[in-house]
Amino acid sequence: MRGTTIRRSIALIAVLLPLTAIIAGCASTDIRSQTSPDYRGYPYEKILVWIDIDDALTAHSAEDYLVKELSLRGANAVSQYSVFFAGKDYTYVERQRELDKNGIDAVLTVELTDSGATKHRTPDRVHRVRRVNPYTGRIHSYTEWTPGHIDVDAWAAFSAELIDRASGDVVWLAVARTAGDPSIGRVGFAQSVSREVVDQLIRDGIIATN
């Protein structure tokens, strides 16, 4: 039921305004994080990135962006779709084997938890205007009308977790909310969140950077 609600909200965003160029800078994101008291205290070396969004193309694009953001900061990261084949159902043991083979010591997941869009109308504006005819000196008074317009604001909520491979425990978690013009689409929102997640991980000293 929840997944259906999210898909409907996303569909509403797509209908309200057509998808245009993806510009993550058009979205603003707030993020809050916590680090587990059991965190071992030194940065992780290689991270697997997993974006949990029901649209595979959107998820893969967001994963690529998140991997790029981590790499630009000197961290070593790979996307989950480059490690796991989507057409195969992996057992727990098989997943662990693939993670070991690729030297993964932490898994970063980002999940879309809620989304929506709101509309608000700027009211019409009517005011009196007085003009002086420069030739006759006469004063003319008339009413000027400026039509209102409808603004659409879209938002999406995400949760992020960093899981320690050795223990399987969540060592870092965050919640984020991003909002902006719906024209940036789901990928734009995911990119904005990804950038903030990486920045927060660095501020919290969780990932290794060069």
Confidence check: pLDDT of 14 > 50:
no
SS3 content of the chain, % helix, strand, coil (to 5): 35, 40, 30
- Could you list the residue range(s) of the whole structural domain that residue 140 is in? 2-203
Residue keyed to tokens 């000196």: 137
Please tell me the predicted confidence (pLDDT) of residue 151: 67
* Strand pairing report for 125-132 and 76-79: unpaired
User: Using CA atoms, how far apart are residues 173 and 39, in angstroms rounded to an integer?
Assistant: 12
Position 119 in a domain: yes
pTM of the model: 0.68
Confidence check: pLDDT of 104 > 90:
yes
Position 180 in a domain: yes
pLDDT tens digit sequence for 164-194: 988 888 999 998 887 766 666 666 777 777 8
Position 208 in a domain: no
**Mean pLDDT for the stretch of residues 121-148:** 75
Angle made by CA atoms 157, 158, 159, in degrees to the nearest 5: 140
187: CATH:
3.40.50
Please provide the DSSP assignment of 176-192 as one string.
EEEEE-GGGHHHHHHHH
First to last CA, the chain: 44
Q: Where are the alpha helices (DSSP H) in the chain?
A: 2-16, 56-72, 92-101, 185-203
Position 11 in a domain: yes
Average model confidence (pLDDT) for the chain?
Answer: 76
pLDDT tens digit sequence for 20-30: 223 334 567 78
- What's the total number of domains in the chain? 1
Position 138 in a domain: yes
Position 75 in a domain: yes
Position 30 in a domain: yes
Which H/E stretch holds residue 172? strand 170-180
Please tell me the predicted confidence (pLDDT) of residue 101: 92
Please tell me the predicted confidence (pLDDT) of residue 108: 92
